Structure 1
Amino acid sequence: MWSRTIKNVCTVCSIRTVNFSNLANKKVCIVGSGPAGFYTAQHLIKNGPALEIDMFEKLPVPFGLVRYGVAPDHPDVKNVINTFTSIAKSGRLQFIGNVTIGKDVTLNDLRSAYDVVVLAYGAAQDRWLGIPGENLDNVVSARKFVGWYNGLPEESNLKFNLDVETAVIIGQGNVALDIARILLTPIDLLKKTDIAQHALEALSRSKIKNVKIVGRRGPLQVAFTIKELREMIKLPENCYRIHIDNREYIEACLPKTSRPRKRITELMLQSVNLKQSEKKDPSKEWELIFNRNPIEIIKNPNENKVEGLMVGINRLTGNDWENPKIEDTGLRETIPCGMILKSIGYKSLPLSDELPFDHAKGIIRQTEGRVEGMQGVFCSGWVASGPVGVIASTMQSGHDVGKRIIDDLKNGIVGTGTKKPGRDAILSQLTARGVEPVTFVEWEALDNEERERGKFQKKPREKIVDVREMIDIAKKGQS
């Protein structure tokens, strides 16, 4: 789901010499080991050398969406794992995997054990369209589909019907293009990635030949970036159609747009004029379809499966091209298809009833990362902002929250009172409850096993998808 690389510069060892007397022996825990968690930790390590920092993760493996959200054919984006590994091995951070906050340990347990608790656990609930037919077979959320092909344990056993010719993706962000690309990429190319084996086998039998990527708004409002569009245009064995019917208006708006928006729009306009015959032996096709609002998912009259998507045709009005008003023209059309993938965003879930949570937006209520009404509790990344931005913006968010934590500790706003017991108290609770926490060193044993398995199939790695097997390999590697 992450769509851009950043430079892998680890700054954990660049520590300034200042007075950290208020930080001595203060204990911080971070819930979540994705980019938001690691970048918050990076800032704390750099600017608070006296802090003791622990990181809790639900799975036995670290890195969150970098491992389970980035498309398998984007290995360059995953290089940021090198930075995160350096942070984890700096000697300043303790990774504690296979611990579910809210089940194995409560938020109140953490607050009792640590001076500061940082919630950075991302977004794990799907948004709904709220239209008839959404519960039909083969109507799939993008989050689940991405988790499936990336080997996320909880999604690894999902079954999809790929024995159809046409799939519709609702949404026009980078995730939508990732999914379209995975569905249409020649299988010989996918074999060279770290895609999960069960997904590779299913995709090798897929009969999907056409993918329609549908959005409510127009070309000027697409959420994907130019990198992803270029990849789609260059996709081997594919032709494409970009449906643009208001070209003059779009060209008139271009001088008002930002440079990135202008470049991506110009690429779409240029690509409309390319002849399909210029593509060599295309066996598959993708389409960008604009100004279409999902109205109803059409059910097959004989079975509980998808037969098509009814959409309303929109008209964009107003002078604000960035956020135009969407008007329903009253016109309807049905797009025949056998599979629908919803790429319309995600929401976070509260891990405690005590959290001040905005259920409509799916975020924790906070001000500059400080959770409302909960002194010493902070939040970072998507659980604070919603699922927006790329890795670079999450890095900035993590660093900003880290700075505020340091400021509040220095100024005595948090971290006052009795000395906190930290991880010792939590590990004792986990032992009493029969939970087997996984350390970063143990993760490295699992990492080595996955890489070794990948060598046999000429892949970067073969991800293990069974949590019990993960734990057993991690523990065995250190026995």
Structure 2
Amino acid sequence: MPHVITQSCCSDGSCVYACPVNCIHPSPDEPGFATAEMLYIDPAACVDCGACVSACPVGAIAPETRLDPQQLPFVALNAAFYPDRAPDEKVPPTSKLAPVIEAPRVDSRSGRPLTVAVVGSGPAAMYAADELLTQRGVQVNVFEKLPTPYGLVRAGVAPDHQSTKRVTRLFDKVTRLPGFTFYLNVDVGTDLTHADLLTHHHAVLYAVGAPDDRRLDIEGMDLPGTGTATEMVAWINGHPDFSDLSIELSHERAVIIGNGNVALDVARILTTDPNTLARTDIADHALGALRDSKVTEVVIVARRGPAQSAFTLPELIGLTSTGEVVLDAADRDLVLRDLASVEDALTRNKLEVLSKLGDASAPATRPRIRLTYGLTPSRVIGTERAEGVEFTVTGTDEVRVLPAGAVLTSIGYRGKPIRDLPFDENAAVVPNDGGRVVDPASGHPVRGSYVAGWIKRGPTGFIGTNKSCAAQTVRNLVDDYNAGLLDDPVSKPAALERLVRSRRPDVVDAAGWQAIDAAEVARGGEDRPRRKFTAVADMLAAAAAAPAPPLRERLLAGLRR
């Protein structure tokens, strides 16, 4: 009874190190790990010990006999990753055991222990904090603009992917480690400067992600009814900056330009029964709007062909197992054409799934998703608001028009400049060497400045990809500390607390976040994992209700300062 990794895999590699028989690949030391859509369990080598189940932070692994019907395709998908071999040959001959990567060792030295400011609180930030806090005495202060932490896990993962959001349980454990401090509701760049942080820390590590959308520069994209898929995901998830977004759902068709995983997420939410979504942590305003929605078809449009589809195979399998996904006859011909010529196994698997999709000419029995290929957008049609999109068939002058009331683009994320740090406008990242910020003019590292996550490498990979990314940055940071290349903080530890509260009196600490979390869970009742606060004022009110820490903890905190 081998175990199986399913679509909610986050690729952080924890299961690889937990496995005693080397049956999960690709491992972090193997080519392709950083770009792998998921990890795979070898059914011939799995010994059914269950170690990977407890190690997985998102609950993505289960015994084959306990899979839901929609997860059954992953049995063959896991097995197909491995080559055919003799029955007694358990491990692929070219594989080797993944090494256990030890945390960087911080050398003891006179003066303050290593103290690091981490800006951002998403996966890269929390993995970096976790890596640093494996060493005794290290202090990590995490700064986040919002009163709530965890970045895109909270605001960017679709609400019907609750298993993926379970990684926050791991992050919650990190917040309870000795040496960890939260400074939530603090905007670095406004409330505090980079220089302020360096005065109180040996180093500042930015893990702020890529918060901006890549915009499609065509006529009409400023009309009411247009927007981006990432904005809609934030609206659906109750991000306070997007809770007042105007979303057009009164037309029977919505068009999404771009076909990555975010496009699939939005299309799936728009066509899912609201009663199903009512059992998730979807924002109340979004649930109400979806109950009144008139959308019966979401068309996901790609400029290139099926073989170049940007979505991952696990997401495609998940989409087709829970909803109605169809193709026009012309698009099915494109799929079959690519299937006849493509040799890459992963791409062939995608095309095989696409070839089995339903026929768009058949009567729809419920809101559905239609995939279409080979169309390049030229303009959004409409005067007062969006009424459709005009396309050309890619590579030709042939014009096609899709009527629609909502037009969303989903063509990727983009990092934005960080005050007082260099920025590469073309790549939309902070220039760096292994996470060390580099001055492009001199080619030298910027003393005490580091990056991890999407602002370091661009918007690539999955939640777990940030683990190895953050680990690389932390190893280089610790090496610099050990080599004496980082200046000791000028101010005493207590001075940071006073500075933050003088600039931001309503700062939220870990206890405040726990109070917000508990209040949201209580609001969810028995039927929902939580009902989110979508206004900062409500979050701060909940945080203010946090009980004061016990006297003993306050005394110890005072002594540490």
Show the counterpart of 2:182.
95
1:433 partnered with 2:438: no
Show the counterpart of 1:337.
404
Contact 1:239 1:282 in 2 (8 A): no
Show the counterpart of 2:513.
443
Contact 1:307 1:337 in 2 (8 A): yes
Query: What is the CA deviation profile of residues 313-368 of structure 1, one whole-angstrom value per residue up to 9, with x for unaligned ones?
Result: 11xxxxxxxxxxxxx2222211111110111112122231x211122332111121
Q: 1:217 to 1:17 in 2, by over 3 A?
A: closer
Question: How many matched pairs?
Answer: 449
1:176 partnered with 2:247: no
Contact 2:140 2:181 in 1 (8 A): yes
1:360 partnered with 2:416: no
Show the counterpart of 2:127.
39
Aligned with 2:372 (options 282, 289, 310): 289
1:29 partnered with 2:117: yes
Classify the secondary structure of the residue corresponding to 1:460. coil
C-alpha deviation, 1:444, in angstroms: 0.8
Q: In structure 2, what is the Cα distance between the partners aligned to 1:248 and 1:175?
A: 25
Q: How does 1:55-204 map to 2 (within 5 A)?
A: 55-204=142-291
Q: 1:285 to 1:94 in 2, by over 3 A?
A: same
Query: What is the CA deviation profile of residues 403-442 of structure 1, one whole-angstrom value per residue up to 9, with x for unaligned ones?
Result: 11111211223x24x4443653332222223432111122
AA aligned opposite 2:414: K
C-alpha deviation, 1:393, in angstroms: 1.2
Show the counterpart of 2:347.
261
Query: What is the CA deviation profile of residues 376-424 of structure 1, one whole-angstrom value per residue up to 9, with x for unaligned ones?
Result: 10001111122111112122111111111111211223x24x4443653
Q: In structure 1, what is the Cα distance between the partners aligned to 2:503 and 2:105?
A: 41
Q: In structure 2, what is the Cα distance between the partners aligned to 1:123 and 1:3?
A: 22
Q: 1:26 to 1:239 in 2, by over 3 A?
A: closer
1:474 partnered with 2:543: yes
Q: In structure 1, what is the Cα distance between the partners aligned to 2:490 and 2:116?
A: 10
Aligned with 1:400 (options 446, 464, 472): 472
Q: How does 1:408-419 map to 2 (within 5 A)?
A: 408-413=480-485, 415-416=486-487, 418-419=488-489
More RCO (CA 8 Å, sep 6+): 1
AA aligned opposite 1:371: V
RMSD of the TM alignment (CA)? 2.4
AA aligned opposite 2:240: P
Q: 1:219 to 1:50 in 2, by over 3 A?
A: same
Q: In structure 1, what is the Cα distance between the partners aligned to 2:152 and 2:158?
A: 10
Classify the secondary structure of the residue corresponding to 2:401. strand
Classify the secondary structure of the residue corresponding to 1:206. coil
TM-score, normalised to structure 1's length?
Answer: 0.88
C-alpha deviation, 1:150, in angstroms: 0.0
Q: In structure 2, what is the Cα distance between the partners aligned to 1:44 and 1:478?
A: 29
Show the counterpart of 1:311.
391
Q: In structure 2, what is the Cα distance between the partners aligned to 1:17 and 1:205?
A: 53
Structure 2 alignment gaps of length 5 or more: 1-6, 15-53, 58-100, 440-445, 549-561
Classify the secondary structure of the residue corresponding to 2:346. helix
Structure 1 alignment gaps of length 5 or more: 315-327
AA aligned opposite 2:410: S
Q: In structure 1, what is the Cα distance between the partners aligned to 2:379 and 2:457?
A: 30
C-alpha deviation, 1:246, in angstroms: 3.1
Q: 1:422 to 1:76 in 2, by over 3 A?
A: farther
Show the counterpart of 1:317.
none
Classify the secondary structure of the residue corresponding to 1:71. coil
AA aligned opposite 1:306: A
